Amino acid sequence: MPSLGADMESGTLVEWLVKVGDPVRRGDIVAVVETPKSTVEVECFDTGTVEDLVVEEGQRVPVGAVLARLGDAGAVAVPAAPPAPAAPEPSAPPTPAAPEPVAPSTPVVPEPAAAAVPAAAPSPMASHRARVSPLARRIAEEQGVDLGTVTGTGLGGAIRADDVRRAGRHTTPSAPSAPSAPSAPSAPSAPSVPPAPKVTASPAPSTVAQASDMRRSIAALMTVSNREIPHYHLTLTVDLQRSLAWMKQRNRELEMAERLVPAALLLAATARAVRAVPELNGHWVDDAFRPAAEVDLGLILSLRTGGLLVPAIAGADRLTVDETMARVRELTRRARAGRLRGSDLVQPSITASNLGDQGVDSVLGVIYPPQVALVGFGAVSDRPWAVDGMLGVRPLVTVSLAGDHRASDGATGSRLLKTIDRLLQTPEEL
């Protein structure tokens, strides 16, 4: 179980995307884990063949616990796993010998394959129980999705949560056909059934529970930050005239989907500046500052359902502005779709908070422990500004720094802000 955040102590294995005998490679998505803040896709750390799934779906385990064991990659060719899902059909012939759909035995019939014989008795849940993840089954029950109509995209045709969500989006529009009851001439009193659609208006309890878990997790982390970290704050107003002019010129050369926004320039400049001022790039652990080997820039993202996530842009100081823009766009899309990966949630070495799109002038941030600094950006706005003794209107942004006084002081923080300013005056070098 990987650590998917500084405050994570345990996680719940929601869904296995592989089975015993499957070949896997380093970087493959093999499981889905639920943390207090998000549902995260976990990548495999090595290449080989799955020998044992140690943790069962739905089980909560601490960080560092073994989830699965891999065997030698040489055994990869042995399992013929993909054709295996066809196994349920062979199991059907033995059972037709006892076709007793008449017997109204209420207990769940242990032979799901028998559901293929009678037309009225089959339960879509039962017929797919062996190949449906718990999360997918729960969502199907909440949204009233018939699993018999869902096509699985997981390994071996397994039905995943996303498959059910897609099916739900396609099937819900057909519900309004219920009001066509007037066409039934012989049963005028039947219209007492329509109240059922009201159920769809109720909020999903799992979403509410996850939102409250996220809020508690954020509260605990910020409480520790305010209690243990002696913050100091600095701000600097930066003229973005040259940066925005360069960005407009660059955007003329790019496709619409690849065009830059000011945030890409601000984040790229921050990463390069942090590399030049390494005293703010690292963690405070065991009463000592431990510098990070590279700049893993955390990006605070607000979710539409409420709460925050802080995925990291690994090696951000080595990326160009275009590459930074692509990573920001990708992380934002995956975070808001609930499809972040474990590698996205490595511990950042410093975090940036951009609230410019919210219209605020400046950000006085709270440091995410065990980090020792947080850079904030307000809105880019046209304001009066003097250049070479001449007053004019320029696009300005207020850059702020929250620093940990145990690891640095105001002079070091000022150096970081001035470096960000200098880099933004030469955007072509980013």
Tens digits of residue pLDDT in 262-318:
999 999 999 999 999 999 999 999 999 999 999 999 999 887 767 788 999 999 999
Question: What is the pLDDT at residue 160?
Answer: 77
Tell me the two tokens of residue 319.
């990326």
C-alpha–C-alpha distance, residues 332 and 338, integer Å: 10
- pLDDT, one tens digit per residue, over 356-412 is 888 899 999 999 999 999 999 999 999 999 999 999 999 999 999 999 999 999 999
State what percent of residues in the chain have pLDDT above 70: 73
Question: What is the pLDDT at residue 283?
Answer: 97
Looking up tokens 């790229």, which residue turns up? 268
Surface-to-core class of residue 114, CB atoms within 10 Å of its CB (0-12 exposed, 13-18 middle, 19+ buried): buried
C-alpha–C-alpha distance, residues 268 and 298, integer Å: 12
Is a pLDDT exceeding 60 seen at residue 28? yes
Rounded to an integer, the average pLDDT of 142-155 is: 79
Question: What is the pLDDT at residue 254?
Answer: 94
Question: Which pairing describes strands 308-309 and 301-302: parallel, antiparallel, or unpaired?
Answer: antiparallel
- pLDDT, one tens digit per residue, over 44-80 is 888 999 999 999 998 998 988 999 999 986 544 444 4
Question: What is the pLDDT at residue 197?
Answer: 45
3-state secondary structure of 71: strand
Residue 187 confidence class, pLDDT cut points 50, 70, 90? very low
State what percent of residues in the chain have pLDDT above 90: 48
C-alpha–C-alpha distance, residues 148 and 132, integer Å: 11
- pLDDT, one tens digit per residue, over 75-106 is 444 444 444 444 444 444 444 444 444 444 44
Q: Is 61:67 a contact under the CB 8 Å cutoff?
A: yes
Indicate the average pLDDT of the chain: 80
Question: What is the pLDDT at residue 308?
Answer: 82
Question: What is the pLDDT at residue 74?
Answer: 58
C-alpha–C-alpha distance, residues 168 and 322, integer Å: 37
Residue 177 confidence class, pLDDT cut points 50, 70, 90? very low
Surface-to-core class of residue 166, CB atoms within 10 Å of its CB (0-12 exposed, 13-18 middle, 19+ buried): middle
Rounded to an integer, the average pLDDT of 147-162 is: 76
